[in-house]
Copies of this chain bind each other. A is one copy, B any other.
Amino acid sequence: MTSLQQVNPRVLAIRESTGLQTLAAHITQQITQGGKRPFQKVTDVSSHDPQEAGMAPISFVRQVLAMCQYPELLKDEHFPLDARQRAQKLLGWCSGGSVGSYTPTSNGTPQILETIADFITRRDGGVRSHPENIIFSTGSQKIFQLLLHLMSCGSGGSQTGMLIPTPCPHTLLSLMDESEVKTVPYQLMEERGWAVDLDKLHQALKAARGHCEPRAIYICNPGNPTGHVQDRETIEQVIRFAATEGLVLLAHEVHQDSVYGQDKQFVSYKKVLFEMEKKYSEAVELISIHSISTACAGECGLRGAYMEVVNVDPPIMTYVKRLQITTCPPVLSHFAMHLMVNPPTPGDLSYGKYAQEILQRQKTLSQNARRACDFLNALPGMSCQPAMGGVFLYPRLQLSSHMIEEAKTSGVEADVFYCQRFLEEEGVCLGPGCENGHDDQNYHVRLCVLVPPVSLDQVLARLRSFHLRLLEGSH
């Protein structure tokens, strides 16, 4: 690798980050070394990381995992009996009774795949899920990498393409850069609360023809960063579209536990698909992704996700599984997933505390989302669609032409420029919309609202102060 010519062109294609995280780290270091700033620490609300923000983990999950790590603790009667029993059960599923051994298959522990399938079946009101359709890996981005790798083939006009929403999760675009799959963007409808629009899907498909062969559509529900929650009718429309156009449907449903919009509820693509006519339910290839980095479990640092794969031909499934060639997933990530989808139930000793912890989190999230949306909409030059689920708000910024010019001079996007200045002046890191794939003149920023209410208050107060100062300056 004496020169960049000897590096994989796909690796060279991975976009540079906007540098906001590096700036945040730099400022934090300055403060640590005694540098003076008008704030005492940097608050990062650009991504979903509830435990960084100070939200506590679910006690039951951590108790069981600690006992699995150090089985001596099984004798410790400070732990609730049901937690001890659960840890004992999980250790019984380990080869040699230890989390230090490889899982029995490269896809994990058969009993855990069964409990995931049972969870999906319960969630979907009885629509059956089968453990042999569950693939586990170290986080939803790893799952997504695996899928992109699986589906990439052809070149030129026959190269695999994938429909991707604008805006999309900010973690998605680097994965697309690195893959051999072409991005086919479709615009979500901001004025309709970021709904999916069928016409936009058809437009995207038409524009892609000749450049690539679209073979899949990616959907994020609840929407990241939009907070939109799809209704059954939309889901049916998307399924019919995928069926007609022969597209694999990738449903990213990580925030299924956090829907709080009035009269809204999460309905999975799987459930809707299996309640449609056979020509859909037996034909559409659907892959649904779920993770332990949800709003409620919020175990981002433990890294675990699964996908359920349906209607994919058995010979292809053989290869999906063969792609799991790196011996096994981290056992504790795998266990954390089991605990998330099989929490204590009424009657269990740990249930009361568990239910209270979850409720507290859901309440914080929904109240924060409403409060922050009202607050942002009251600011001049800012407008925000109310979120119905997920953990982000995604307000639109009306930036002055003066500021857009200034950004251009600095060589960055105007939304990045806005975020940089906010970070420098007030110590809060927002996510610029360009990271979510926005590249037109409608600037947006991304703001995670799953943080303790007192942190949110501070973030919003600082944002108002900065934003008004900016508006004044531009007159």
A interface residue numbers (CB < 8 A to B): 1-12, 14, 16, 21, 25, 47, 49-54, 56-57, 62-63, 65-67, 69-70, 73, 76, 94-96, 98-105, 138-139, 141-142, 145, 149-153, 160, 171, 174-175, 178, 180, 215, 246, 248, 285, 298-303, 312-313, 315-316, 319, 322-323, 325-333
> Given B7, B65, B301, which contacts A150 in the complex, CB threshold below 8 Å?
B7
Determine whether the beta carbon of B54 is less than 8 Å from that of A65.
no
Chain B neighbourhood of A67, CB < 8 A: 66
In the assembly, what is the distance between CA of A386 and CA of B66, in Å? 41
> Given B47, B69, B101, B326, which contacts A65 in the complex, CB threshold below 8 Å?
B69
Chain B neighbourhood of A63, CB < 8 A: 70
Measured CB to CB, the closest approach of chain B to A161, in angstroms, equals 12
Chain B neighbourhood of A138, CB < 8 A: 138, 303, 326, 330
Contact A330/B327 with A69-B65, A102-B49, A298-B100 known, Cβ cut-off 8 Å: no
Contact A62/B70 with A8-B150, A14-B325, A327-B141 known, Cβ cut-off 8 Å: yes
What is the total number of copies of this protein in its complex?
A: 2
Determine whether the beta carbon of B301 is less than 8 Å from that of A153.
no
Determine whether the beta carbon of A8 is less than 8 Å from that of B149.
yes
In the assembly, what is the distance between CA of A16 and CA of B315, in Å? 12
Closest B residue to A283 by beta carbon equals B2
Chain B neighbourhood of A330, CB < 8 A: 138, 301-303, 330, 332-333
Determine whether the beta carbon of B100 is less than 8 Å from that of A302.
yes
Determine whether the beta carbon of B178 is less than 8 Å from that of A2.
no
Q: Kindly list 19 other residue pairs between chains A and B, CB separation below 8 angstroms, not including A141-B327, A145-B326.
A: A6-B153, A7-B150, A7-B151, A7-B153, A7-B319, A11-B323, A16-B322, A49-B96, A51-B101, A52-B98, A52-B102, A63-B70, A69-B69, A99-B302, A100-B300, A101-B301, A102-B301, A141-B325, A302-B332
Q: Please name 20 pairs of A and B residues whose Cβ atoms are closer than 8 Å in the assembled complex, sorted by A.
A: A1-B248, A1-B313, A6-B151, A6-B153, A7-B153, A11-B150, A21-B105, A51-B98, A51-B101, A52-B98, A66-B73, A102-B301, A141-B327, A171-B327, A174-B322, A175-B325, A301-B330, A302-B332, A303-B330, A330-B333
Closest 3 pairs between A and B when the two form their complex, measured CB to CB: A66-B70, A52-B101, A51-B100
In the assembly, what is the distance between CA of A138 and CA of B137, in Å? 11
Determine whether the beta carbon of A152 is less than 8 Å from that of B8.
yes
Contact A178/B302 with A7-B316, A49-B95, A316-B1 known, Cβ cut-off 8 Å: no
Measured CB to CB, the closest approach of chain B to A329, in angstroms, equals 7
Measured CB to CB, the closest approach of chain B to A15, in angstroms, equals 8
Chain B neighbourhood of A153, CB < 8 A: 5-9
Chain B neighbourhood of A323, CB < 8 A: 11, 14, 178
In the assembly, what is the distance between CA of A333 and CA of B325, in Å? 19
Determine whether the beta carbon of B325 is less than 8 Å from that of A178.
yes
Closest B residue to A142 by beta carbon equals B326
Contact A14/B319 with A99-B302, A302-B99 known, Cβ cut-off 8 Å: yes
Determine whether the beta carbon of A101 is less than 8 Å from that of B332.
no
Determine whether the beta carbon of A151 is less than 8 Å from that of B1.
yes
Closest B residue to A58 by beta carbon equals B100
Determine whether the beta carbon of B2 is less than 8 Å from that of A327.
no
Closest B residue to A99 by beta carbon equals B301
> Given B62, B142, B325, B333, which contacts A69 in the complex, CB threshold below 8 Å?
B62
Chain B neighbourhood of A331, CB < 8 A: 301-303
Measured CB to CB, the closest approach of chain B to A354, in angstroms, equals 15
Measured CB to CB, the closest approach of chain B to A287, in angstroms, equals 10
Determine whether the beta carbon of A100 is less than 8 Å from that of B329.
no
In the assembly, what is the distance between CA of A175 and CA of B52, in Å? 35
Closest B residue to A139 by beta carbon equals B326
